[in-house]
Structure 1
Amino acid sequence: MSSFLNAFDSTAPADRWRMTRDRLLGDDPLPFYAELRDHRPVLETPEVTLVTRFADCAEVLRRHDLFSVALYKTKQGTYWMAQDDTAEHQRQKSVMYAVLDREDVPGIRREAAYLAASALDAADGGPVDAIATLTRAVPVELVRRRFGFADAEPADMLEWSYWNQRDAFWNQPFDDAFVDDPTGVVARREAANVEMRSFLIDLVQRRTVALEAGRPVDDMATRLLRLSNSGAVRFDPAAVMLNLGGLLIGTVETTSHAVVNALEFLSRDPDRLAAARAAARAESDGALDALIFEALRFRPAFRFFFRRCERDTPLARGTDYERTIPSGKTVLAVTHAAMFDPAAFDGPDEFAPGRSPTNTFHFGLGLHECLGRAIGAAMIPEIVRSGLLLEDWRPAAVERRPGTVPHNWSWTWETPASDRPVCKQPA
Structure 2
Amino acid sequence: MSQVGDRVSPGKLAKLAVPALGVLAAEPLYLLVDTAVVGHLGGVPLAGLAIGAIVLAQVSTQLTFLSYGTTARASRLYGAGRRAEAVAEGVQATWLALAVGAVLVVVGQLLAVPIANALAGPGEVADAAVGWLRIALFGAPLILVTMAGNGWMRGVQDTFRPLRYVLVGNGISAVLCPLLVHGAGWGLNGSAVANVVAQTISAGFFFHALARERVPLRPEPAVMRAQLRMGRDLILRSLAFQACFLSAAAVAARHSVAAAGAHQIVLQLWTFLSLVLDSLAIAAQALVGAALGRSDARQARGVARQVALYGFVFGAVLALGFAAVSQVLPRVFTPDAAVLAEVPGAWWFFVALQPVAGVVFALDGVLLGAGDAAFLRTATLISALVGFLPLIWTSMAMGWGLRGIWTGLAAFMLLRLAAVLGRVRSGRWAITGATR
Task: Give the TM interval when normalised to the shorter protein.
Answer: under 0.3
TM-score (norm 1): 0.28
Structure richer in strand, relative to its length = 1
Bigger Rg, which one: 1
TM-score (norm 2): 0.28
